[in-house]
Amino acid sequence: MVRILRGSKHLAANTWQHWTTWLCCTGAITIIAYCIASGIPVFQSLVSLVGALFGTFMTFQPMGAMWFYDNWNKGDRDWRWKFGVFWASFVIVVGTFLMIGGTYGSVVGIIDSYSEEGGSSAWSCADNSNSV
pLDDT tens sequence across 30-56: 999 888 877 777 778 888 888 899 988
H or E stretch covering 97: helix 79-115
Residue 118 pLDDT class (50, 70, 90 cuts): low
Closest by CA to 51, choosing from 92, 91, 93, 109, is 109
What is the Cα Rg of the chain in Å? 23
pLDDT of residue 82: 93
Residues in the chain: 132
Global confidence as pTM: 0.61
